[in-house]
């Protein structure tokens, strides 16, 4: 497995649609900078730091309750994860 490089977040959301990316005028420094300090922190920490996987879908309990709750917030923005 390729080592995580920080630019595609564990949730798998296209960065161009991420409100943080849009709000900060496309100056994203990657998920390792942004996701770790935002409301999606729990997704990032769970996948990258605790389970040592690159993406949520690689988890044996995907989709977990954490991911399902995160998914609901994206439905309002037209993204069905």
DSSP-assigned letters across all residues of 36-62: GGSTTHHHHIIIIIIS--SSGGGSTT-
Give percent of the chain above pLDDT 70.
63
Q: The pTM is what?
A: 0.71
Quick one: the chain helix, strand, coil %, rounded to 5?
Answer: 50, 0, 50
Q: 60 lies in which domain range?
A: 15-75
Asked if residue 47 is part of any domain, the answer here is yes
Asked if residue 58 is part of any domain, the answer here is yes
Query: Assign residue 52 a region: left if phi > 0, alpha if psi is -120 to 50, beta otherwise?
Result: left
Asked if residue 10 is part of any domain, the answer here is no
Q: What is the pLDDT of residue 79?
A: 72
> Which of 10-14, 23-27, 43-47 has the weakest average pLDDT?
23-27
Confidence bin at 52 (pLDDT 50/70/90): very high
Confidence bin at 73 (pLDDT 50/70/90): confident
* DSSP letter, residue 13: -
Asked if residue 51 is part of any domain, the answer here is yes
Q: What is the pLDDT of residue 59?
A: 95
């Amino acid at each position: 497995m390729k080592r995580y490089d920080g630019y595609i977040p564990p949730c798998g959301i296209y960065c161009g649609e991420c409100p943080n990316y849009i709000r900060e005028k496309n100056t994203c420094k990657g998920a390792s900078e942004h996701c770790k300090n935002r409301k999606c922190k729990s997704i990032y920490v769970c996948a990258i730091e605790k389970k040592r996987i690159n993406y949520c879908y690689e988890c044996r309990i995907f989709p977990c309750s954490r991911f399902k709750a995160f998914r609901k917030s994206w439905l309002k923005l037209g993204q069905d994860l």
